[in-house]
A and B are shown apart, each in its own frame.
Chain A
Amino acid sequence: MNIRALPLYVTIAIFLLAYLVCWTQFPAMLSTRVIGNLLTDNAYLGIVAVGMTLVILSGGIDLSVGSVIAFSGVFIAVVLRDSTLHPLAVFAMLLALTTAFGAAMGFLIDRLAMPAFIVTLAGMFLARGAAYMLSIDSVPVVHPFFDWLEGLYWLMPGKGRLRLIGVVMLLAFAAGIVVAHKTRFGTSVLALGGGEATARLMGVRQGRTTVLVYAFSGLMAGLSGIVFTIYTGSGYSLATVGTELTAIAAVVIGGTLLTGGAGYMFGTFIGVMTMGLIQTYIVFDGSLSSWWTKIVVGVLLLAFILLQKGLVKLSQDRLAAGAGR
């Protein structure tokens, strides 16, 4: 068995097991309604986690995404309020802006050779500050096109509603899987995460790859902002505080190595769904308090980090044994 895929199998097993436990207590959990809601409610988190997975695979981190989502919401709401532009034009402007923002952070990380953690921290302050500058108050989005988007859904068998934003998330994951695992760029990203020196020797263009990775994360954060705005129907500069940490947790629970170089985009999808499932269970139960979500997610995080630590050590020991022979 491929040892690298083990965290992915563990992730899938935990998700299925958790679903089984939920189903034995609440048979209604296994309805397309619940599944439809699971996809809708976690759409923005899933999309941003796609970008985060690529960043983490490259050995970096992007702390700015939560602020970028909030900025996107405020930007869309304010531009729609103060101009007569069509929402699609606003979306295009926003995605160009957030992608350029991500690319700029990638450029700084590469050029200054500073930790991604602190560069994207500056990005986090900047995006949140820019959102405050646009508007401190929550701005409602009033546009017929938005209402149409919000009401768009496909009725699954069993009366479950697969809404547009759920579909966008699934498409984002499909795109993420192709980019990460089927393209030359994805291979460069994984090589970079595995070790900068070896990647350079392999002929990976380090600067270009770093810029593209953060640009991709910025694009996904912008898309997530659009989805979040459709979901909530307003733009608020204090929204999605801490989403970057939830996304990082989802990526790790999905089996991606936090030091980079190994992991699967599909695992992140399962990670996001597992976190959504915990919340759904708490809602179904009714007597449990919401803080249990944080604790359970923290425990899962610890379990996966320890599992990966063990696996890395195992493979290193195997390598050492091989070298000694």
Chain B
Amino acid sequence: MAGLMRRLAPQLVALAALVGLVTAFYPAFLDLSFGGGRLSGPLVDVLKRAAPVALLATGMTLVIATRGIDLSVGAIMAICGAVAATAITAGWGLPAALLLALGAGAAAGLWNGVLVAVLGIQPFVATLILMTMGRGIAQLITEGRIMTFTDAGFAWIGSGTALGLPVPAWLWIATAAAFALVLRRTALGMLVEATGINRRASGLAGVNATVLLVAVYVAAGLCAALAGLVVTADIRGADANNAGLWLELDAILAVVIGGNSLLGGRFSIAASVIGALIIQTITIGIRLAGFPSEYNLIIKAVLVLVILVLQSPRLAPEWQFWRDSLRAARNRPADGKGAAK
């Protein structure tokens, strides 16, 4: 537990600092009220609005841990939203619509996984194909219209309340917790890390890297399907052009803010979803603090740059040197200058 807290400390500190900063500009940010069987307030809004990116980031964490990247998750969201809305308007009922949407997400993930793991195409290129095609496919399903529906059960997924909190918030918390449990309570997480660090070596050690890679992309597809359902249910319509547009970039950003290396290997789903919360706090905070939302992109760019500098393999020795000299200075008494000579 202490190890987990140490791993999450930079992200938690950043999140706390951000919340403090926003509160300084907009004191009502921390207000919470309970009425009509649910909590409400800006913080609850952050939890709800973070759902799509947090869901995507959960799947993306695994993909990035295998040294991959999935650019198609935004397009998969659009496809799954279109499938669900079409099934609902055709009168097939809610369970069928949800199953079909999840199936579509899994199929899209399978496609990516086969391209990457079986055909050996670089992940960036392989998922670019579906990213280009995906919105075309989604428009094909909705026949180019924004498909609206009135099914109250489906809309509940996007805007309902359960146990005092919005349903999307429960959905991403449950998904992230389920993934983290399955990966960390079994050897799966370690196998994913091994594949990311060195696919060949892990293959020689007996890991079935091909199946594992395909499974990781299918998991990312399923997470994207859930995110697509949330977005579609929230606006009660499937918008093939705009559902999940550029969210893949936010998801990658969330994973990177979570301190996961883009070069694969060790990962933390908890850190990634906190990354998603950080992004959402910035977005909502800027709006509430009265700044124009244009600052959003600039702040994101600066964030990426800072993380790049921190993660850079070329600067790593310098960080290490700096840390060592700091530690040495702390251990040495104030009059210990002579030791350096």
Contact = CB atoms under 8 A, between A and B. Distances in A.
Nearest to A292: B136
Contacts of A294: 132-133, 135-136, 139
B309 A112 contact: yes
B339 to A, nearest CB: 34
Interface string A121-134: 11111101110110
Interface string B134-146: 0111011000100
Interface in B83-141: 119-122, 124-126, 128-133, 135-137, 139-140
A283 interface: no
Contact of B298 (A125, A291, A295): A125
A291 B78 CA distance: 13
A249 interface: yes
Contacts of B139: 289, 291, 294
Nearest to A245: B132
B312 A114 contact: yes
Contacts of B252: 118, 121
The main secondary structure of chain A at its interface with chain B is: helix
B298 A130 contact: yes
Contact of A295 (B140, B297, B309, B311): B140
A301 B304 CA distance: 29
B133 A129 contact: no
Interface residues of A, number: 43
Interface stretch (A92-100, A225-233, A302-310): A302-310
A129 B256 contact: no
Given A112-B312, A115-B262, A309-B119, A298 B298 contact: no
A113 B313 contact: yes
B131 A245 contact: yes
**Range for the number of chain B residues in contact with chain A:** 35 or more
B295 interface: yes
Contact of B301 (A61, A125, A292): A125
Given A248-B128, A295-B137, A112 B121 contact: no
Nearest to B306: A122
A265 B135 CA distance: 29
B294 A258 contact: no
Nearest to A114: B308
Contacts of B177: none
The main secondary structure of chain B at its interface with chain A is: helix
Contact of B122 (A124, A258, A301, A302): A258
Contact of A126 (B125, B135, B263, B298): B298
A237 to B, nearest CB: 8
Contacts of A118: 252, 256, 262, 304, 308
B294 A108 contact: no
A6 to B, nearest CB: 18
A132 B293 CA distance: 9
B56 to A, nearest CB: 15
A119 B252 CA distance: 13
Nearest to B305: A122
B320 to A, nearest CB: 15
Contact of A245 (B69, B128, B314): B128
A177 B45 CA distance: 53
B300 interface: yes
Contacts of B161: none
A13 interface: no
B296 interface: yes
Given A111-B314, A245-B131, A298 B136 contact: yes
Residue picked from B131, B133, B246, most chain A C-beta under 10 Å: B133
A241 B242 CA distance: 12
A285 B69 CA distance: 38
A9 interface: no
A121 B304 contact: yes
A299 B133 contact: yes
Interface of A: 61, 108, 111-115, 117-119, 121-126, 128-130, 132-133, 136, 241, 245, 248-249, 252, 258-259, 289, 291-295, 297-299, 301-302, 305-306, 309
Closest 4 CB pairs of A and B: A298-B133, A294-B136, A129-B297, A132-B294
